[in-house]
Amino acid sequence: MADLAHVLRHVPKTSPEQLLSGSDFADDAAVYRLSDDLALVQTVDFLTPIVDDPYTFGRIAAANALSDVYAVGGRPLTALNIVCFPIQMLDREVLAEILRGGADKVAEAGAAIVGGHTVDDSEPKYGLAVTGTVQPDRFVSAHGAQPGDTLVLTKPIGTGVIGTAIKGGHASQTDTRQAVRWMELLNRQAASAMLTAGAHACTDVTGFGLLGHLAEMARASGVSAEINVGAVPVLPGAVQHARNGHVPAGTHNNLGAVGKVVRFAEGTDDLDRLLLADPQTSGGLLVSISPDRVEAFRASMAEAGLAAVIGRIISGEPGRIFVKP
Ligand code: CO
Ligand code: CO
């Protein structure tokens, strides 16, 4: 994953002046200004199955793909299915269930599936290319974090570890149900709360883990960050599964990738270090917000997720993170 980031960062890109976001690796979605009060939002994401039930997998993959639109404060309008499926080996009913799950989640988001493309592949994969809109003067990028900001996270971490435990048959029903509930939760209300509260910056926490995405936000914003590890919400069972060694390779890769920029306080637990780098599927929004707006954010979130204060932005070397107890 870390090597992949390196490759992607060096792919040549064009940057027309209408492009408000999308030219930097920290950006979640491309934002392209169409007029003074309208910008197009475009993003694509797809996954290999993380749970056994195809309908649930479809819901999670769709929530995950829609998330990058929400991370910029946008509203999804249309989505195209992206499907890889072993047509000779698996029952087509499985594919129908994946697509039904995706369609239900897209409908819940108030958007519409308008087409898609399927290829024969040895392992199933599913996701969406999503198009949405945002007001150019309201969109939130990963570049605006300011020293003194509070960092708020809207979902617990640990889906990489739980997903590995599920694949190995080690996860309890309760652990699985909790992880699924969070992964299929849309970041829609979180996006609305961040707009209400006038967030300075936002990114969603996905494959590079909390530390990886925070490091990118801090680098892009030219600031450093502090995290209080004890304040970071973790899925039930995740610590135990990590202790039992159900840690995906991506977690170790992510931790290695941020090794140069993260300073852990002495005595930071090894399991905590791993979980902070755990790759997330359909993770929460990580929002950088003025401290006096945290209550407004929390009130606007209501019951639709967490509003966990996990740290703050400080001035310092761009992209550096200090992990405190
Ligand atoms: Co993202
Ligand atoms: Co993404």
Using one digit for the tens of pLDDT, what is the confidence trace for 72-94?
999 999 999 999 999 899 999 99
Determine the distance separating the centroid of ligand 2 and the alpha carbon of 43, expressed in angstroms: 7
Determine the distance separating the centroid of ligand 2 and the alpha carbon of 268, expressed in angstroms: 29
Q: Which ligand is nearest to the CA of 43?
A: 2
Determine the distance separating the centroid of ligand 1 and the alpha carbon of 68, expressed in angstroms: 5
Determine the distance separating the centroid of ligand 1 and the alpha carbon of 195, expressed in angstroms: 17
Determine the distance separating the centroid of ligand 2 and the alpha carbon of 230, expressed in angstroms: 27
Determine the distance separating the centroid of ligand 2 and the alpha carbon of 68, expressed in angstroms: 6
Residue 245 burial (CB count, 10 A): 11
In this prediction, residue 1 has a pLDDT band, given cuts at 50, 70 and 90, of very low
- Cβ < 5 A residues, ion ligand 2: 45, 68
Determine the distance separating the centroid of ligand 2 and the alpha carbon of 283, expressed in angstroms: 10
**Chain-wide mean pLDDT for the chain?**
94
Q: CA 151, 224, 323 angle in degrees (round to 5)? A: 70
Tokens of 319: 């992209």
Residue 10 burial (CB count, 10 A): 9
What is the rounded distance in angstroms from the CA atom of residue 45 to the CA atom of residue 86? 19
pLDDT of residue 71: 97
Beta bridge partners of 133: 40, 75
Does 13 score more than 80 pLDDT? no
Q: Which ligand is nearest to the CA of 8?
A: 2
Digit-coded pLDDT (tens) for 22-44: 878 778 899 999 999 999 999 99
Using a cut of 0.85, tell me whether the model's pTM lies above it: yes
Determine the distance separating the centroid of ligand 1 and the alpha carbon of 273, expressed in angstroms: 21
What is the rounded distance in angstroms from the CA atom of residue 249 to the CA atom of residue 237? 19
Tokens of 88: 């000779």
pLDDT of residue 5: 65
What is the rounded distance in angstroms from the CA atom of residue 47 to the CA atom of residue 162? 16
Determine the distance separating the centroid of ligand 2 and the alpha carbon of 67, expressed in angstroms: 7
Determine the distance separating the centroid of ligand 1 and the alpha carbon of 67, expressed in angstroms: 7
Digit-coded pLDDT (tens) for 247-301: 999 999 999 999 999 999 999 999 999 999 999 999 999 999 999 999 999 999 9
- Per-residue DSSP letters for 143-193? S---TTPEEEESS-B-HHHHHHHHHTT---HHHHHHHHHHHTS-SHHHHHH
Q: What is the mean pLDDT of residues 105-117?
A: 97
- Cβ < 5 A residues, ion ligand 1: 28, 68, 204
Q: Which ligand is nearest to the CA of 27?
A: 1
Digit-coded pLDDT (tens) for 122-139: 999 999 999 999 999 999
Full strand arrangement of the beta sheet holding 308-314: 201-204, 285-289, 150-153, 308-314, 224-228, 321-324, 262-264
The DSSP 8-state label assigned to residue 234 in this structure reads B
Tokens of 77: 């309008």
The identity of residue 61, as a single letter, is A
What is the rounded distance in angstroms from the CA atom of residue 32 to the CA atom of residue 16? 9
Determine the distance separating the centroid of ligand 1 and the alpha carbon of 269, expressed in angstroms: 27
pLDDT of residue 319: 97
pLDDT of residue 6: 67
